[in-house]
Structure formats: C-alpha cells, structure tokens
Amino acid sequence: MSQTPTSQNISIPTDGGAFDAYLARPANGPAPGVIVIQEIFGVNPNIRSVTDWLAGEGYCALALDLFWRLEPNVSITDPGDAELQKAFGLMTAFDQDTGVQDIQTAINYLRADDMCTGKVGTLGFCLGGRMAYLGATRTDADANIGYYGVGIQDMLDEATNISAPLILHIAGQDEFVPPEAQAALHAGLDDQPHVSLFDYPAQDHGFTRPGGMHYDAEATDTAHTRSLATLAQALR
C-alpha cells in the first residue's frame, strides 16, 4: 500500500565539497533505502517524482545531483535542441569514476539515516542506468536496477564483481543501445548468477518517462512491478 511521503532538499558533504540531493521518506519507518540516479537531464521533476513514488512504496529514497562538479542543480524539463545539446555535453564531461564515489557517499549517508534500516539499493535511468550497473560492480549497494542504461556493453569486464541482485530493463528499439549492444549485454550477463535482464522489444529509450515521446504506460507498469519485487526481496 502506498504511503504519503515527506520530502526535503539536503546537502551531503564529500571530498572536495558537497552535493545537493532530494530526499523523500515514507510516512512510516524505519524503511530500506534507494538511491535514485538521474538521467542526463539532472534531478528534474521527473526524477523527483520517481523518488516520491519510491517513498510512497515504503522506501527512503534519495536522488543525488551527479553533475554538481560541472554545474550544480541541473534540471532540464522540456528539452529542445539547445537543452539536449547541453545535456549531452554534461554527460560527455561527466567523470563516472567520481560519480560512483558520490553514489557510494549517498549510500553511506542513507544508511546512517535514523529512518533507514541500513539496506540500500540503487535505481537509475539512461546515464543513471549505467551508473546503477557500476553500483553493482563498484559499490556495496544491496541491489541495483537500471532502466535503458547506456554504454554498459563497454564495461562487461567488471561483471564478475557483481555480488548483489542487478536487474536491467532493456528497450528493444533503443537507438542509444543498438541491437549489437543488447546482444553483448546478454552474452556477457545472462550467465551471471545475480543478474536478470528484461527485454521490452517494442519499447524505445525513455519508455518509463511520463510525458516523454516514447512513454508507454503498460510497459512502465511491468518494469516498475519487476523493480519493486527485486527491491522487496533484496532490501526487506
């Protein structure tokens, strides 16, 4: 049963400064935690709504600002050509190694929160889907979930590090994860004991983003149901 969450903007100290985050807590706690990892559009209203949704499902959910070292508090809501160019530029300049460190810092922060049970997973979209994969290979998160993550096929050599549940939602029509990349994901991950890949053959990149050009409500419901089942099994 969904709960009415409470939310706030917070700042988390780390090496070299501090990054902002959006934190939503369920009405009743303590509860397991989920780190929500942004797309290339920053911690925008869509990412905040995902965070609120998870809090409503009974999780302490925290969306961190991955781009804070480049430009703090990016929030692109209706990307035209200029906004898309900016978003892709930020992704190109983004250092994923320090990004993973920030995710681990966010995990540690949430685990120390009185409202968190100490079990924490990650869940991300697009760039965040790739970072969720790296969450599985480089952090101590208790579960990791990636939606249409990009570039994962180039990091499959890290798959042997995975020791907690990882699920990846793969959009069959994704121009950013073409068929050869999808085939590589299956070849490299199907035999990994902690990994589950779910294919959505008719869907395109961003199919779970409400208001997006590829949004599909039925596929979103299917994917989110699978994600919630994984989180419940791993974190509760």
Point out the catalytic residue in the list 52, 113, 142, 174. Answer: 174
| 224 domain residue, yes or no | yes
pLDDT in the model for residue 1: 52
CA 37 from centre of chain? 4
DSSP code for 39: B
pLDDT above 90 as % of the chain: 92
Q: Which amino acid is at 172?
A: G
> Does residue 158 fall inside a structural domain?
yes
Domain count for the chain, please give it.
Answer: 1
Q: How far apart are CA 209 and CA 212, in angstroms?
A: 5
CB 28 within 8 A of CB 72: no
Q: Is the peptide bond before 30 cis (omega within 30 degrees of 0)?
A: yes
Return the CATH number at 191. 3.40.50.1820
Through-space distance between the first and last CA atoms of the chain, rounded to whole angstroms: 15
How far, in whole angstroms, is CA 233 from its chain's centroid?
18
Has residue 176 been placed in a domain?
yes
**CA 185-234-159 angle, 5° bins:** 25
């699920």: which residue's tokens? 167
Confidence of residue 40 (pLDDT cuts 50, 70, 90): very high
User: pLDDT tens digit string along 53-69?
Assistant: 999 999 999 999 999 99
- Give the range of the structural domain holding residue 29, as residue numbers without chain letter: 6-235
Task: For residue 26, tell me if it sits in a domain.
Answer: yes
Contact (CB, 8 A) for 68 and 156: no
In the set 102, 113, 205, 224, the catalytic residue is 205
Using DSSP's 3-state secondary structure scheme, residue 146 falls into strand
Clarify whether 205 is annotated catalytic.
Answer: yes
Which residue from 192, 201, 177 is spatially nearest to 144, judged by alpha carbons?
192
Looking at this protein, which amino acid is placed at residue 97?
Answer: D
Residue 174 annotated as catalytic: yes
Q: Is residue 144 in a domain?
A: yes
Per residue in 149-206, pLDDT tens? 999 999 999 999 999 999 999 999 999 999 999 999 999 999 999 999 999 999 999 9
- Residue 1: inside a domain, yes or no? no
- The kind and range of the H/E element at 159 are none
